[in-house]
Amino acid sequence: METLYLCGPPLSSGVSLELQEKIKLAWQKAFRDTLTTASSDERLRLETILLGVGGRSALPIPTYMFQGIPKSSKFLCELEKLFLARVIDEDALDLVQHSSSADTTSTLDEFIALAPKLKSLKYTGALGDSLLSTYPGLDSLPRTLSPLSNLTKLDFTSLAISHSLLAEHLLKSKATLKSLELYAVNLTSDTWIGIFGMIRAELKLTYINLHRLKQDRGQRLHFSRVTKHRPVILDAEASLSRYSSKWAWAMWEASDSIKWDDAKIEAKGQEIGQLIDEGWIWVDRETRSHCITLSLDEGDDVNDWLLQIERWSHLRRV
């Protein structure tokens, strides 16, 4: 076993308060029992763990769920990828204290310290979620998730975060960080332009994905004046994630990842596959204005394009 995925259940608005409480307690017991069992297995060595990734209206994970795990446990000693979602600080809830000592974890930070080889962190909050009225702060990073060093990939999604805190997380791994994804992130202080300048000056990224970034009380950052100047070089594997035209779908078909019933698309896929085999490449342009992906593998000079974003991006009220 290399991957553990614990998905939080959604909390429907039509459910009675009594049943909501039962669902919440059942989720927390399942979560706690799973971690306790995993940490006590001397043979288990996880490489990827996803905790609480359950979509909108999914119940949060209180930070006290990470207490009481033996620091001698080895089940995370080979962990490289950690996905966390919707972790809520315990002071926003009725405090439940798990037994802990100097030999067991007492915070989320101490739990993550059980994974010394961690290279990739993704954190998803609950920006815009209906549960924010019940769990204030669910759209923010938990306080006991300290910036980590030696990360190669960092991904923040659906968060409200200050300029200083975001910069702190980025700079902590500046010697190793290569990939950054920011999706639906609202900067609560200063400007994104300042963040991009700091990234150019301090980091050496080879991949960055910016999507639906906001600042200044709901103004969204747009990249239309950048993307119209930027050609995108794609191969069959990359096309599906960005384009939905039949031509692009046919390119994906050429990668043999999926088979379609449409004979015309299949024939086009074979034609494109032959072009790719002969050394041809596909060049297109981004058409969406609120997101941009920069990749060294696709021929981008990431820092140079970040400079263009600083010069040409603009804000629109949403």
pLDDT in tens, 17-59: 899 889 989 999 999 999 999 999 999 999 999 999 777 788 8
Question: How far is the C-alpha of 284 from the C-alpha of 138, rounded, in Å?
Answer: 39
Residues carrying CATH 3.80.10, the chain: 3-220
Pick from 206, 203, 176, 228: nearest CA to 300: 206
Q: Which top CATH class is 3-220?
A: alpha beta
* Mean pLDDT computed over every residue of the chain: 84
Confidence of residue 167 (pLDDT cuts 50, 70, 90): very high
Confidence of residue 116 (pLDDT cuts 50, 70, 90): very high
Per-residue pLDDT at 287: 62
At 115, which amino acid appears? A
Confidence of residue 282 (pLDDT cuts 50, 70, 90): low
At 49, which amino acid appears? I
Q: Is the pLDDT of residue 244 over 50?
A: no
Per-residue pLDDT at 240: 44
Q: Which residue has the higher pLDDT, 13 or 68?
A: 68
* pTM to 2 decimal places: 0.83
Mean pLDDT of 203-224: 89
